[in-house]
């Protein structure tokens, strides 16, 4: 049975389309974390959910993802095609902003930064910024 399309106003269409994209991305992130939890240098995810509950959650996530696809069709939202270059460039910009905002002179709201370590600290931040700038297309 063909589902009837519902036409939203342009503003509502754009907003709902963005909402579906954000929710879909978050569901995929939760799914990924449940299947393969991150074990990174600065943090790790403690797998404190029982295996059976993870399996149930994965089924719920799949149901939600199917519902998103159904709603996408029902409300005639387009699949957004994103350039990998654009994604990488956006993430590099966010990395740069985050690191730049972590420099000693920007952290004064947390208290005075010790001068004897400020230069070394800022150099370490600059070095990390230089390394991440080498990410290219």
End-to-end Cα separation, the chain, in angstroms: 44
The SS3 of residue 39 is strand
Which string of b and e fits 19-41 if b means at least 16 CB within 10 Å?
Answer: ebbeeeeebeeebeebeeeeeee
Into how many domains does the chain fold?
2
Task: Indicate whether 36 and 64 sit together in one domain.
Answer: yes
Task: Indicate whether 68 and 88 sit together in one domain.
Answer: no
The SS3 of residue 40 is coil
Please give the model's pTM, rounded to 2 decimal places. 0.79
Task: Indicate whether 97 and 31 sit together in one domain.
Answer: no
Task: Indicate whether 95 and 71 sit together in one domain.
Answer: no
The SS3 of residue 4 is coil
Tens-digit pLDDT profile for residues 32-80? 999 987 778 998 888 899 999 999 999 999 999 999 999 999 999 988 8
Q: Domain ends where: 33, 58, 80?
A: 80
How many helices and strands, by DSSP H and E, does the chain display? 4, 0
């Amino acid at each position: 049975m063909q589902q009837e399309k519902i036409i939203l106003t342009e503003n509502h269409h754009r907003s709902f389309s963005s909402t579906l994209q954000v929710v879909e991305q978050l569901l995929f992130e939760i799914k990924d974390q449940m299947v393969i939890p991150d074990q990174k240098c600065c943090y790790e995810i403690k797998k404190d959910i029982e295996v059976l509950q993870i399996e149930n959650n994965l089924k719920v996530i799949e149901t939600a993802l199917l519902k998103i696809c159904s709603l996408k069709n029902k409300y005639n939202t387009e699949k957004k095609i994103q350039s990998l270059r654009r994604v990488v460039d956006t993430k590099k910009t966010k990395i740069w902003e985050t690191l730049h905002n972590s420099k000693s002179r920007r952290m004064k709201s947390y208290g005075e930064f010790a001068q004897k370590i400020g230069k070394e600290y800022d150099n370490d931040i600059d070095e990390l910024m230089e390394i991440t700038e080498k990410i290219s297309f």
